Structure 1
Amino acid sequence: MASFYRSKQNAEAVNLIDTQIWICSNQSCKCWLRDEYSFSQKPICPMCQSSMINQTKALPQIVKANVY
């Protein structure tokens, strides 16, 4: 059981980077998405259909793998 807790202590720190995101303008909606995954220049919230606002958020870096 002690080795279980020790493995959590040795976990790598997550590398956070400032990332451009879109957040929903509706205060009751919690939806947001990364700008690089947006299909339009001014996206509409997929959850409530409200407009979205461009902001920056510290998020873990996503490493894209080559599928070829």
Structure 2
Amino acid sequence: MYKRNNNGEEVQPEETKVWECTSDKCNGWIRANFTYEEKPECPLCKSEMVASVKMLQAINNPGMK
């Protein structure tokens, strides 16, 4: 489990939309709410990416609407 340092409260992971790299040689992925492109390319190897879901700790991105 994840714990916040400030008050010891447990943070449960939640389903988060992500983009994952399609290359077998790359493990790259990006949270969908941190991308500006409709269909991004992998920032590590420049391969195509596909939409997926991962169980991750929630992160608020105030720059996205």
What TM-score bracket applies, with the shorter chain setting the length? Answer: 0.7 to 0.9
Mark the runs of 5 or more structure 1 residues left unpaired by the alignment. 1-10
Q: TM-score, normalised by structure 1?
A: 0.71
CA RMSD of aligned residues (A): 1.5
Larger helix percent? 1
Q: Percent identity?
A: 33
Number of corresponding residues: 55
Aligned-pair CA distance for 1:13: 2.9
Residue correspondence of structure 1 range 28-43 to structure 2 within 5 A: 28-43=25-40
Larger strand percent? 2
In the alignment, what sits opposite 1:5? Answer: none
Q: Secondary structure at the match of 1:36?
A: helix
